[in-house]
Amino acid sequence: MAVSRADAAGASTRRLAFKEFAQYQAPTRVVSGQGLLDSAGFEFMKEGAKRPLLVTDQVIRGTGLVDRVGAGVQDGGLEVAGIFDEVPQDSSTVVVERCAEAATAAGADSFLAIGGGSVMDTTKVAATVFSHGGTVRDYEGAYTLPRADDGMGPPLPIAPLACIPTTAGTGSEVSIAAVIKDDAAKVKLELADLPLYPRLAILDPDATRTLPPAIAASTGMDAMTHAVECYVSNDSSPHEQATALHALRLIRDNLERAVHEPEDDDARGNMLVAASLAITINLGATHSMSHPCGGQFGVPHGVANAINLPHVVRFNAAGGGAIADGYRDVSEILGLDPAGPDDEVGDRLATHIEGLVGSLGLPTRLSLVGVPEDGIPGLVEGAMGDGCTLMNPRDPSEDDYADLFRAAL
């Protein structure tokens, strides 16, 4: 049983329960530095790639970035098998399967994603379908990829996979997970297994130079949500909590600069690092609320998180004890007073986040981004069924979620 710092008069330390189970690994090789795009071939060669398919979207291709990476791939002695640039903003199972077919048709042996979360998640799952056959649905859920020894051994490898993120937010370039929309069922499928960790991530601020400020803001708030949710989640490991706190320091010092001064290479580079430190699958109710906002009303993921996070912070902090103490740590890093009653700590942090969201120029209400009041029952159902609900430190009921959505509307 943890002793709340608020209750422990004068004490600057607290007794933390030792978790019954925690797991941590970060197998992706991360290289970061300005200009590393030009060494994409040299770096990807070390992961066994010879003929990568480059996967991107048409907006990024239009900036010339893909041509630069392609030249970097060839400069390392690799061949570009082809370019698949048909990934939409919110990728779907149909696109993933088309991407896998394109790789087969082009004689590719590996995948290099150049893009944001949608491009990277598409590429990760396309590499899976390319390597093992079947459809996206076959791999839905956690630890569902084929394994040796009748499923009890290690997962079978997939084709070499590298990511160059062009947004600083999702952290997909170093994560175990991917989210893909099933258009027919209007749901987002969540996939997570060890081979989905890319073998290589290249963090180069040149790749985010043309990012529109609104996207820098929303994806940056996604990273901040990962860090805040991870730090108080039931399921996070102490190792992830450590990386979450440093991600928060980098976000505190760089997010607004990266949005308001897009020519600031240091700020954009530091935000790429922050996003890769913040990412985890151990999240909470903010993500449970934001997933159906995206699936049912097309609200961009980072925007939904930016709107929902403060309300979840208030709700969770009212649970008190270790949860509120987690928010005290977050508050300290963000320069806020961590003292006072639990609900006050939550309210102060939530108000700070709302101010940040406003200063970044993002919407602060779901009603401003296409969510109608009569959509709430469907959103509640989606949030209750979302896997992140189980990891939230306070157990939300249907009524709690309805209140949270109403507060965010």
Task: Summarize as ranges the residues that interact with Fe ion (CB under 5 A).
Answer: 222
List CB contacts of 194: < 8 A, sequence separation 6 or more: 25, 27, 143, 145, 154, 155, 176
**Position closest to Fe ion via CB:** 222
* Three-state secondary structure call for residue 351: helix
Of 55 and 279, which CB lies nearer to Fe ion in the complex structure? 279
Q: Using CA atoms, how far apart are residues 59 and 48, in angstroms rounded to an integer?
A: 29
Measured from the CB atom, the residue of 291 and 394 that comes closer to Fe ion is 291
Q: Write down the least CB distance from residue 287 to Fe ion, Å.
A: 6
Q: Which two tokens stand for residue 309?
A: 């996070």
∠ Cα 34 73 269 (to 5°): 20
As to burial, measured by CB atoms within 10 angstroms (0-12 exposed, 13-18 middle, 19+ buried), residue 88 is middle
CA dihedral 339, 343, 348, 351 (to 10 degrees): 170
CA-to-CA distance for 183 and 97, rounded, in angstroms?
13
- Looking at beta carbons only, is 121 or 222 nearer to Fe ion? 222
Nearer to Fe ion, 206 or 222 (CB): 222
Please tell me the distance from the alpha carbon of residue 199 to that of residue 189, in angstroms, as a whole number. 23
Minimal distance, residue 327 CB to Fe ion, in Å: 19
C-beta closer to Fe ion: residue 127 or 278? 278
Q: Which is nearer to Fe ion, 43 or 121 (CB)?
A: 121
Distance of closest approach, residue 301 Cβ to Fe ion, in angstroms: 6
Q: Are 285 and 392 in contact (CB under 8 A)?
A: yes
Residues 6 or more apart in contact with residue 14 via CB below 8 angstroms: 2, 3, 4, 5, 8, 325
Compare residues 37 and 404 and give the one whose CB is closer to Fe ion: 404
**264 in Cβ contact with 244 (< 8 Å):** no
- DSSP-derived secondary structure letter, 24: -
Q: How far is the CB of 158 from Fe ion (least distance, A)?
A: 23
CB of 406 to Fe ion, least distance (A): 23
Look-up: residue for tokens 């969201």? 357
> Nearest approach, Cβ of 329 to Fe ion (angstroms)?
21
DSSP symbol at 18: P
Of 26 and 318, CB closest to Fe ion: 26
Smallest gap from residue 93 Cβ to Fe ion (A): 20
Q: Report, in Å, the least distance between residue 222 CB and Fe ion.
A: 4
